[in-house]
Amino acid sequence: MDFFTFEFISALITIIFIDLVLAGDNAIVIGLAARNLPKHQQKKVIILGTAGAIGIRIVATIFVVWLLEIPWLLLIGGLLLIWIAYKLLVDDADHDINAAKSMWAAVWTIVVADASMGLDNVIAVAGAADGEFLLVILGLLISVPIIIWGSTLFIKVIERFPIIIYFGSGILAYTAAKMITKEAQLSTFFENNTSLKWIIVIAIVIGVLAAGKLMNSRKEKRAQIQGSKQMT
């Protein structure tokens, strides 16, 4: 594999960005699980919990990469990723994680919670890797230090610049579109219709972003109406 091709580098950057955009759950779970522990144990919990969660994600992603070789699963995975990209825009984070009372209990809480919430990351990374296991591992290894020490900062950046979430959702939607158009059962159709392929890719990306923006606008209007009613 050539590490210096545009395809490899762009896919690696995409995987790293996906990991960062979807790392908010990691930071919240880590903070909630470890918040009642002594300061000298919190760093160990962060490192051990994140290492365990990342290990599970590597195995799960490689497993999903293999599964996506089965006919029609690439299409199904792409459709599911479209939904995930949309939910990334419109979901309000609601985590119910109890603070653990011991270091190993906190580590276990982080690993189990991350495994249960990590489906979006696994599918997105598997789609972006396009069957290359090395890309999965490299992307996660590069993003691990950022997730451990910088995810909380990244959340603050996202809160200040919400456009990053839309950019991330767009990348997920683009990855989903690529998965759909690379489905083996449809490949001959798209190979003979390159223009149609790109029309579908663009339509999926724009459709996800527009739907997310519309839903968020409706939520803001409802919140404003409710706020006005409470004031009167």
Cβ 146 vs Cβ 20: under 8 Å: yes
> 163-222 pLDDT, tens per residue?
888 888 888 888 889 888 888 788 777 777 888 889 999 999 999 999 999 998 998 888
pTM exceeds 0.85 for this model: no
Per-chain mean pLDDT for the chain: 76
User: What is the C-alpha to C-alpha distance for residues 176 and 209, in angstroms, rounded to an integer?
Assistant: 13
Indicate the SS3 state at residue 54.
Answer: helix
pLDDT at 196: 86
Measured CA to CA, the distance from residue 148 to residue 41 in angstroms comes to: 15
Question: Which residue carries 């699980």 as its tokens?
Answer: 33
Return the C-alpha torsion angle 198, 202, 205, 210, nearest 10.
-160
